[in-house]
Amino acid sequence: MSPRGVALTGAVDLVLEVSPESLETVADTSTIFGAVVVLLAAYIGAKVLARGLSLVAERTPSRRITIKMFVPIVKVAVYTLAIYLVLVPVLKLTAAQLFAVSGLIGAAIGFGLQGLVSGVFGGLVLITERPYQVGDKVTIDDQYGEVVDIGLRSTAIQTPGDSTVVVQNDQLFQSSIVNANSGSPEMLVTVDLAIAADEQSDEAMELLREALVTSQYVYVDDDHPVRVRLNDEVTHQRIRGRAYVADHRDELAFTSDVTHRARAAFDCHGIDTPELLARVETD
Amino acid sequence: MAAELREVYEPATPPEPEQLLSECTPFEDALEAGATIAVTGGQYAGRSSVLEYAADALETTQTRLDPGESTGGLAVEADPLVVDNCQHLYTRAVDGFDRLQETLTAIANSDGTVVTGWNDLAWSYLDRIEAIDKVFDEHVSIQALSADELEAYLRERREIPTIEEDTLGDSIVSSETYTTGWREVTLPKIDFGVLNDQLWPTQNPAQAFFARLCSLSRGNPGVALALFDQLTGGPVSPSDLTTPSIDVEETGVFLLRLLLGNERAAPELLADRVGGQFDRLVGRLTRAGITTRGGDSLMLTPTGVPTALDQVERRRII
């Protein structure tokens, strides 16, 4: 057994022998300074690369999500490289020592850092399996919005109200995730309108369809059809239109545009919308 | 202004139908068979030339729809019928498709020869939402001209001055100074022109000039002619060819999309779709040389067409 190696005695005794030169290397001020510089450079480099990719992505709306998909991958690659650059030369670990250290780290994680590490593993699963990507519209734990960042530990979601919600990545293993667009810029949007129960529904359905297909935000082709359906409710008829927007960021603008123009057309054609129920005053 | 544009760019100098259609025989066969035909092509691309050819072959005259003719469908009982600008049969608004529906039904039931001309973007939009392609027996697209074809087209109509190569320098990396507030920052910049020239050296300046003209105009002869006419006398080089540039927000891009599809449209109709920003947008677009007012209509200038297409494709507005 090498003096710098690992000695396994019996079934449970684990002795990690670190050479004096190694300890000197670790204690050396310039080495510590070098490690700090590498980590700082990695932090700044990852930020700059992520920002650069985001800027490029925002300038090309049709490929925005594809480009943003690389942001978390680049971050992980930069941080992994930095950790490698810091740990391996500083500690000068052999393969056996690395094995032993990983065992120790595993034990430490098991007791104290379980939450953090499950988040990190969730992040790694997110990057490899990609149930959602940066730029997707998702619902996680009742939080709906656009994924703006996937970190190693957590995912940031920007809600329609412009709040940022941070969700731990280990929610991936516990919650159901709804992805509205799965990496493509198009997204299905539903617009509901109501007409009075005794109104002719055909004309209203055609008007809603025209409002959908004439919107500036709509995206229609054979794979992205426009559909209008009628549902009878107790007090009224509900007309539900479903169409895709070319860019999921236009979801609310599309809904507003279609609703506004369809309602104006209903008024113009004398199609009644249901009366609001009178509020019942209670003592 | 609009009358002048029509006089210069259409139909006075479009290429011959043989140049515009990849194959003339199916088109001639369809005319002889008394089919219903749709001819699609971009603004200034020479669609009128193909329809004129059809009108001559059928011994009739070509009619053109104007924006604002908004009552009733086409009188398809006239046999044969050759009509251009059929994109004016609809407006992109609620209640804007009645006339189109009426006409499509009449064409589907027609026994006579009907040749219709459509703007290609309007056709593509209508095909997405109404499957309009299925109504016609034959669909003929006007093809984009290649760089060589554009060169021949221009040499027939214009005197070409001496073409010189661009003096791009030798260095791929140059520097550019940006001023932000009180600071000046000099950053390295890659010169893609030099890089492109070094990777794919062009044999001669004329070849580079017409390749750039073809790329900018997307093979549209009317647009290419207008881009060329912008150049002043004397030696010219590829980099002298430019299109107007503007950065407009999404409502402005939607306005450009409406103009690209309609080719000409009544300002009131456009204002109804675009909203309160309409006058300001039109002012900016007109100052940039992208739109022009002609009579009662607003239209894109020939050189404004590539700019509008770039903006619309970037925003993916159908």
Per-residue model confidence (pLDDT) at position B1: 36
Shortest Cα–Cα distance, A50 to chain B (Å): 19
- The more confidently predicted of residues B148 and B68 is B148
Least confident of A146-160, B87-101, B171-185: B171-185
> What secondary structure does DSSP assign to A101-163, as a single string?
HHHHHHHHHHHT-HHHHHHHHHHHHHHHH-SS-TT-EEEETTEEEEEEEE-SSEEEEE-TTS-
Question: Sign (positive/negative) of CA torsion B270, B275, B276, B281?
Answer: negative
Amino acid at A183: G
Confidence bin at A17 (pLDDT 50/70/90) = low
Q: What is the mean pLDDT of residues A213-238?
A: 91
Q: Does A264 touch chain B (CB under 8 A)?
A: yes
- The more confidently predicted of residues B65 and B2 is B65
Of A61, A185, A220, the CB nearest to B129: A220
Burial readout B163-174 (b: 16 or more C-beta within 10 A, e: otherwise): beebebeeebee
- What are the structural domain ranges in chain B? 16-141, 166-201, 250-315
Confidence bin at A256 (pLDDT 50/70/90) = very high
Contacts of A250 in chain B (CB under 8 A): 250
Q: How many beta-carbon contacts under 8 Å exist across A and B?
A: 49
Confidence bin at A18 (pLDDT 50/70/90) = low
Among B235, B289, B288, B282, which residue's Cα sits nearest to residue B258? B282
Q: Does A268 touch chain B (CB under 8 A)?
A: yes
Shortest Cα–Cα distance, B249 to chain A (Å): 12
Mean pLDDT of chain B: 84
CATH architecture of structural domain B16-141:
3-Layer(aba) Sandwich (3.40)
Q: What is the mean pLDDT of residues B78-87?
A: 86
Tell me: pLDDT of B97 over 70.
Answer: yes
Confidence bin at A109 (pLDDT 50/70/90) = low
Of A185, A214, A220, the CB nearest to B93: A214
Report whether B112 contacts B80 (CB < 8 A).
Answer: yes
Q: How far apart are CA B199 and CA B192, in angstroms?
A: 10
- The most confident of A67-76, A77-86, A239-248, by mean pLDDT: A239-248
Per-residue model confidence (pLDDT) at position B73: 61
Q: Which two tokens stand for residue A70?
A: 């690389």
Fold entry, domain B250-315: Arc Repressor Mutant, subunit A (1.10.10)
Confidence bin at B227 (pLDDT 50/70/90) = very high
Among B50, B43, B126, which residue's Cα sits nearest to residue B83? B50
Of B129, B251, B316, the CB nearest to A62: B316
Mean pLDDT of chain A: 79
DSSP helix/strand/coil, B165: coil
Bridge-partner residues for B36, per DSSP? B114
Chain segment A110-148, per-residue pLDDT in tens? 666 666 666 677 777 777 777 888 888 999 888 899 998
Report whether A55 contacts A38 (CB < 8 A).
Answer: no
The CA-atom distances, in angstroms, between B283 and each of A258, B97, B245 are: 27, 29, 14
Q: Whole-structure pTM over 0.90, yes or no?
A: no
> Given its phi and psi angles, is residue A251 left (phi above 0), alpha (psi -120 to 50 degrees) or beta?
alpha
Confidence bin at B16 (pLDDT 50/70/90) = confident
Nearest CA in chain B to A264: B94
Of B96, B315, B316, the CB nearest to A214: B96
B128/A221 CB distance under 8 A: yes
- ipTM summary value: 0.80
Q: Does A62 touch chain B (CB under 8 A)?
A: yes
Q: Which two tokens stand for residue B72?
A: 């009733």
Tell me: pLDDT of B4 over 70.
Answer: no
Residue with tokens 């073409």: B163
Orientation of helix A70-91 relative to helix A114-129, angle to 10°: 130
Chain segment A179-206, per-residue pLDDT in tens? 888 888 899 999 999 998 888 889 999 9
Chain segment B117-155, per-residue pLDDT in tens? 999 999 999 999 988 988 999 899 998 999 999 999 988
First to last CA, chain B: 29
Shortest Cα–Cα distance, A184 to chain B (Å): 13
Contacts of B94 in chain A (CB under 8 A): 207, 210-211, 214, 261-262, 264-265
Q: How far apart are CA B21 and CA A27, in angstroms?
A: 79
Least confident of A22-36, A264-278, B301-315: A22-36
Tell me: pLDDT of B257 over 60.
Answer: yes
For chain A, list the domains and their CATH numbers.
Answer: 6-129 (no CATH), 137-179 (2.30.30.60), 187-268 (3.30.70.100)
